Amino acid sequence: MSLTGMRDISIISTPPADRQAIISYISTYEDSIVKDAIKRELSRKGQIFFVHNNIKTISKTAQNLEKLVPKANFGVAHGRLSENDLETVMFKFVNFEIDVLVCTTIIESGLDIPSANTMIINKAERFGLSQIYQLRGRIGRGDHQAYAYLFISDESRLTKDAKKRLSALMEYKDLGSGFQIAMKDLQIRGAGTALGASQSGHIAAVGYDMFLKLLDQAVHDLKGEEIIEPLEPEINAAMSSGFADDYIESVEQRLTLYRRLSRITKISDISDMKKELMDRYGQLPKPAENMLLKIMLRVYCIQAGVRRLDITPNTLTLVFSEKHRKKPLDSLNNALKGLVLFEFIKKDSIRIHLGRKRNNISKALLETRNILKAIT
């Protein structure tokens, strides 16, 4: 909703005073590392989260840890405990009666325990990127340095996405990196059905570009904002234009070129496009040249505020857009004086006589170009 303009977006990139970035490690599971991590935290009177997201084996994991560090007090917390049992365990942890809380992802939000500054996540490759980021956010909430240990299975067995997730966590480890993490997560997992029928209606029925235009217009309407639609001039000229099948065989390539041409806003881009076409497909046939001429007229029309252009070998009719016209129509007298003969046929339209009678529209196009340049 923020990307489409429906909601404003704000990024909290400045951490609270004295807050330090969490130091993270990734390695395969080793009892010696776990033992050292727990002992180091206990030596500075801190507490530890050990995240093991499997309820069936969580009790056995807690027993193994007790054997590893007998002096520490352990507790188990997961979603299948009764409300009273879970509350009891959490109160004991908050009151320092438990040193190591062996838990599932039940702790990933809503906890603020400044004394817990070490987190060990078992089988980290099974967690989502945002989920690990949330879990890691449960530590380092005071002014003490926090440590996160992400234990993974054999690295050779990791999927590509799992490697990307872990790599992102190590890359964006500074405070205030939540937005970058979220964007990376979107990149890895994809947008799902954000543009599908279940969330955005039937985009295919109108096309993606039209959908974005309609959505943008609806957002402005809801905000009560008046928007001026970009000028899309109508060029009417009796000549064949386009890319023939025998010039560009691929339908996809032709559609791509038409789309690129429709977005051109500079005259210099037209000459670049001509060079590219000649380099890729050879000498331009007449219809292709006419297509580029039409695009050139379109660019000049946009600059002059002309919403419709009708051209024949002998006459040129220009219909101006009041919203897009930069100069008053009175200025046309000075711009066209001595250049051509013209007359107003409506308050927003003029008809220009293009000299002698002739059957060739090519010279009329060149004359039209000069006229549009003069009134821009």
pLDDT in tens, the chain (376 residues): 666 666 777 777 777 777 788 888 988 999 999 999 999 999 999 999 999 999 999 999 999 999 999 999 999 999 999 999 999 999 999 999 999 999 999 998 888 899 999 999 999 988 888 888 889 889 988 888 999 999 988 777 778 888 888 888 777 777 767 777 777 777 777 666 655 665 566 676 777 777 777 878 888 888 888 777 788 899 998 888 899 999 998 888 998 899 899 888 888 999 999 999 999 999 999 999 989 999 999 999 998 889 999 998 888 999 998 888 877 777 777 778 777 888 888 888 888 888 666 667 878 888 888 888 888 8
Name the pairing type of β-strands 306-311 and 315-320: antiparallel
Residue keyed to tokens 């400044």: 114
**How many other C-beta atoms can be found within 10 angstroms of the C-beta atom of residue 266?**
9
- Please tell me the distance from the alpha carbon of residue 348 to that of residue 326, in angstroms, as a whole number: 13
CB 363 within 8 A of CB 351: no
Q: How far is CA 132 from the centre of its chain?
A: 22
Q: What local confidence, expressed as pLDDT, does residue 94 receive?
A: 94
- Please tell me the distance from the alpha carbon of residue 331 to that of residue 352, in angstroms, as a whole number: 15
- Identify which of 372, 262, 305, 302 has the alpha carbon closest to the alpha carbon of residue 273: 262
Domains and CATH numbers, the chain: 23-189 (3.40.50.300), 234-375 (3.90.1150.50)
- Please tell me the distance from the alpha carbon of residue 331 to that of residue 326, in angstroms, as a whole number: 10
> CA of 39: how far to CAs of 33, 49, 70, 125, 253, in Å?
10, 13, 11, 25, 64
Name the pairing type of β-strands 341-346 and 349-353: antiparallel
Q: How far is CA 55 from the centre of its chain?
A: 37
Residue type, 245: D
> CA of 320: how far to CAs of 87, 334, 341, in Å?
73, 17, 18
CB 55 within 8 A of CB 78: yes
- Please tell me the distance from the alpha carbon of residue 20 to that of residue 18, in angstroms, as a whole number: 6
- Please tell me the distance from the alpha carbon of residue 152 to that of residue 29, in angstroms, as a whole number: 6
Q: What local confidence, expressed as pLDDT, does residue 80 receive?
A: 93
Q: What local confidence, expressed as pLDDT, does residue 357 receive?
A: 66
> CA of 287: how far to CAs of 110, 205, 263, 283, 308, in Å?
66, 30, 20, 12, 21
Q: What local confidence, expressed as pLDDT, does residue 122 receive?
A: 94
Q: What local confidence, expressed as pLDDT, does residue 38 receive?
A: 95
- Please tell me the distance from the alpha carbon of residue 106 to that of residue 53, in angstroms, as a whole number: 9
Q: What local confidence, expressed as pLDDT, does residue 263 receive?
A: 87
- Helix (H, G, I), strand (E, B), or coil: what is residue 351? strand
